[in-house]
Amino acid sequence: MKTGFDPKKYLEEQSKFILERVNDYDKLYLEFGGKLLCDLHAKRVLPGFEENAKIKLLHKLKEKVEVIICVYAGDIERNKIRGDFGITYDMDVLRLIDEFRSYDLDVNSVVITRYDNQPATTVFMNKLERRGIKVYTHRSTKGYPTDVDTIVSDEGYGKNPYIETTKPIVVVTAPGPGSGKLATCLSQLYHEHKLGREAGYSKFETFPVWNVPLKHPLNIAYESATVDLKDVNMIDSFHLDEYNEVTVNYNRDVEAFPVLKRIIEKITGEESVYKSPTDMGVNRVGFGIIDDEAVKEASRQEIIRRYFKTGCEYKKGYIDLETAQRAKLIMEELNLKGEDRKVVTPAREKSAELREASGKNEKCPAVALELHDGTILTGKSSSTMDASAAVTLNAIKHLANISDEIHLISPSILEPIINLKSKTFGSKSTALNCEEILIALSISMTTNPTAQVAMEKLAMLKGCQAHSTTILSTIDEQTFRKLGIDVTSDPEYSSNSLYYNN
């Protein structure tokens, strides 16, 4: 895909702006919305954006930065999953700590928000504390969100413990939305001012992009990504009234601003320097766009991808019908359809061809994968391997100029693995998934030079696009994610099995 974003320009602009903001205070609490690490959404809609650009930005400022991680106790209790990694929020907290440390960033502590002695959360807290991580708990804030006098008192934020910090920039982040980042920032502001310190608050929210038009596909893609939160982009009316300048924000920030402004003024005892939600932000991502058309096209493709994703989530029971329908409406708002994703039609045509050849009216899973040069390959399910594994092998054979007739994996390697699955593990499905096939291929490398040539081409699949005519297994989805392949699926299961097809 054509590059539309300059990461170097973005990092320079962003770091400069954050430092200018922190100069106004002794300490700045910087709430990070969205993904601080592995921001795959930003990478997809802004071709050229580095998925870890924000953490690299903080690494540049590491001498001035420390990190607080918030996680909502309710998300731990219900095992909420971070979709792009397929791991629960509590496990993502551990992953985040490791990642921050790898970038030489100090992790101050983990804050468990809206804690009410939930059992699973208590176990998680014990796990953290016994590994040397400081843990704080915040209960629900009395009076929130309307009773400002109670909120900003010893009965409100004053009930929360004060988190000791030592650096001028305190980044407050979380595994996902609704984790209590804002409340943690404001609670700290309350304590700082009681201690006579000059502290401020700002927000780093990448999307929607405030200086890009409201109906720009980039901002519409954000709505599509947050259909479950029911976020709606809107003009920041406060900014328009104050500065006669049109900027974009989203409904939750605009609706919360009057109360937020009053809380900050109550804490500081002064009129807020912020006249609008846009004023609070420090996001400069819009200034990194160098090719608007490339960004528009990438955003359109992301909207289609999100449509397929929500369709599958509805089928699995994770979201309601209204959310799935909203994703479709957002796609249709830009006159897009699923077939505008290039790999969709070839996958469906392959499936239809297989069904016709079988002479039976049954599901025939197929996967299509588009390489960077535009070549589209397909794979089908068989008794030996599933469609995801087949298309992956076909792709690396194509890249290595290996004939289709050549078998990369010897039956002497495949048969013991299949026997292990069926006879030892008692699996009803003997077909090897993508991960199992790649492990078998790596074993074949020891005796088969051709397999090694093919294996070396796996890195070339990063950034490729794929589509499956049926919902992928969790393992196949995770393997594609590890390979860097962006995959979508039609919201249909590959069989009528309830337990083994999950």
49 and 131 in a single domain? The answer is yes
pLDDT of residue 229: 86
90 and 203 in a single domain? The answer is yes
Domain-located, residue 170: yes
pLDDT of residue 428: 80
Domain-located, residue 333: no
- For residue 217, say if its preceding peptide bond is cis, omega within 30 degrees of 0: no
385 and 257 in a single domain? The answer is no
26 and 139 in a single domain? The answer is yes
pTM of the model: 0.90
273 and 347 in a single domain? The answer is no
CATH number where 354 lies: 3.40.140.40
Domain-located, residue 43: yes
355 and 280 in a single domain? The answer is no
Residue-wise pLDDT for 382-409, tens only, equals 999 999 999 999 999 999 999 988 989 9
Tokens standing for 216?
């720009």
Q: Which residues of the chain have pLDDT under 70?
A: 84, 498-502
63 and 152 in a single domain? The answer is yes
Q: Which helix (H) or strand (E) holds 12?
A: helix 7-22
Residue-wise pLDDT for 39-57, tens only, equals 899 999 999 999 999 999 9
Tokens standing for 320?
């309601």
Which residue has tokens 């528009």? 296
pLDDT of residue 71: 97
273, 288, 303 — which closes off a domain?
288
At position 208, the amino acid (one-letter code) is P
In whole angstroms, give the CA distance from residue 190 to residue 144: 15
CA atoms within 13 A on the CB side of 137: 15
Contact (CB, 8 A) for 73 and 115: yes
275 and 358 in a single domain? The answer is no
Q: Nearest to residue 386, comparing CAs of 416, 418, 355?
A: 418
Domain-located, residue 150: yes
> Going by C-beta distance under 8 Å and a sequence separation of 6 or more, which residues neighbour residue 224?
302, 303, 306, 307, 327, 330, 331
Return phi, psi of residue 168, to 5°.
-70, -25
282 and 346 in a single domain? The answer is no
Domain-located, residue 332: no
84 and 150 in a single domain? The answer is yes
Residue-wise pLDDT for 468-487, tens only, equals 999 999 999 999 999 999 99
Domain-located, residue 371: yes
What is the domain extent for residue 80?
A: 7-217+250-288
288, 303, 334 — which closes off a domain?
288
At position 172, the amino acid (one-letter code) is V
CATH number where 79 lies: 3.10.630.10
pLDDT-above-70 percentage for the chain = 99
> Going by C-beta distance under 8 Å and a sequence separation of 6 or more, which residues neighbour residue 89?
71, 72, 75, 76, 80, 81, 82, 175, 176, 179
288, 315, 334 — which closes off a domain?
288
Domain-located, residue 452: yes
pLDDT of residue 210: 97
Domain count, the chain: 2
pLDDT of residue 343: 98
pLDDT of residue 496: 76
Q: Which helix (H) or strand (E) holds 69?
A: strand 65-72
pLDDT of residue 495: 79
Contact (CB, 8 A) for 29 and 201: yes
In whole angstroms, give the CA distance from residue 113 to residue 293: 42
Domain-located, residue 96: yes
367 and 282 in a single domain? The answer is no
85 and 206 in a single domain? The answer is yes
